[in-house]
A = this chain, B = another copy of it.
Amino acid sequence: MTTKLEPQWIVGFVDGEGSFHIGITPNRELKKVQQILPEFTVVQHQSDIQILYALKAYFQCGVVRRDNGNRMCYRVRGRGHLRDIILPFFEKHKLKTKKRIQFEKFRDVVLLMCKDQHLLPEGVEKIEKIRLSLSNLLRRTPEG
């Protein structure tokens, strides 16, 4: 049986354990152009894997995968799922910690990508600026 979650529980848990990350990986096909990879993740020890499946059941998208060692990860990468499910959820149910700023920058990148801005040099530049400000933010407020 899947644990039933309430929106405010999810917000509290993500305020603690969630991450809105904008990855950049070299794209072999496009050669020099980088691939921008926004992802929403929640990592937990494998003993709490049922919580990750509960999140997957709640959002009806994403996957549960091994993260590292005995840590598991709930992850949403699909751009449509981020735009239509994850962003509206956290727009409606506001995060209460500084993670909200992280979310807002993440949202801006996803929305730019939904307008295919990441395929244009000026769009890539905008995204890079946001990524940089996000990295600076994370450096100022380490979570560890």
**Interface of A toward B, CB cutoff 8 Å:** 3, 5-17, 44-45, 47-48, 51, 54, 96-98, 140-143
Contact = CB atoms under 8 A, between A and B. Distances in A.
A2 B15 CA distance: 17
The residue in A12, A17, A47, A96 that gathers the most chain B C-beta atoms within 10 A of its C-beta is A12
Copies in the complex: 2
Nearest to A42: B16
A98 B47 contact: yes
Given A5-B96, A9-B11, A96-B5, A140 B16 contact: no
Contacts of A98: 45, 47-48
Contacts of A7: 8
